[in-house]
Amino acid sequence: MKQVEVGIIMGSSSDAPIMRQAIEVLKKFDIGYEFNVVSAHRSPQRMFDYAAAAEGRGLKVIIAGAGGAAHLPGMVAAITTLPVVGVPIKSSNSLDGWDSLLSIVQMPGDIPVATVSVNGARNAGLLAVQILATANSALREQLAAMKKENYEKVLQQDETLDRS
């Protein structure tokens, strides 16, 4: 069983389809993860306990997705010293995701949260991989190979572009 290094949490199970994009990335890089609903508003003690115990459980990065007021990433970041990546989610009660984005990106001084685009859980997963790769040369090599593949795709697209 692989070690769980990334915690993926969300404010509601309705966020799961978006947050599963991060899981796809972590699976591609063979990184262990956990996937949980932890609401800042509906279960604040659960959120506190999760964040306070995360490092002791072996987590190295937390990806936190939330819609609406989106306090989960910032509150978790206030509790743990681990890097937190916030995913603003366009939810049924959001203002096209802007409320979530601003709630996460406008953190006060000394409480940093890395923030990706609205519904950008794929990039949150990749950012978690990059964070882990700072201490893992095999992951760095896999990331370099992925970037090379992306470069090759661009060249191929350019070669086959209809310029008429």
**pLDDT (tens digit, 9 = 90+) per residue, 65-88?**
998 888 999 999 999 999 999 999
Residue 84: the pLDDT is 98
Least confident of 14-23, 90-99, 138-147: 90-99
- What percentage of residues in the chain have a pLDDT greater than 90? 91
Residue 122: the pLDDT is 98
Residue 1 pLDDT exceeds 70:
no
What pLDDT digit, counting tens, does each position of 17-32 carry? 999 999 999 999 999 9
Known binding site: residues? 12, 15, 42
Known binding site for substrate: residues? 12, 15, 42
Report, in this order, helix, strand and coil percent for the chain, each rounded to 5: 50, 15, 35
Q: Strands 4-10 and 61-67: what pairing?
A: parallel
> Mean pLDDT highest for which of 45-54, 68-77, 89-98?
45-54
Residue 69: the pLDDT is 83
Mean pLDDT estimate for the chain: 95
User: Residue 92's pLDDT band (boundaries 50, 70, 90)?
Assistant: confident
**Tokens found for residue 39:** 């609401």
In 3D space, the residue among 49, 76, 60, 50 whose CA is nearest the CA of residue 129 turns out to be: 60
In 3D space, the residue among 87, 83, 85, 7 whose CA is nearest the CA of residue 47 turns out to be: 7
Between the alpha carbon of residue 107 and those of residues 85, 100, 103, the distances in Å are 12, 12, 7
CATH architecture under which domain 4-136 falls: 3-Layer(aba) Sandwich (3.40)
User: Residue 110's pLDDT band (boundaries 50, 70, 90)?
Assistant: very high
Up-side HSE of residue 58: CA atoms within 13 Å toward CB?
Answer: 8
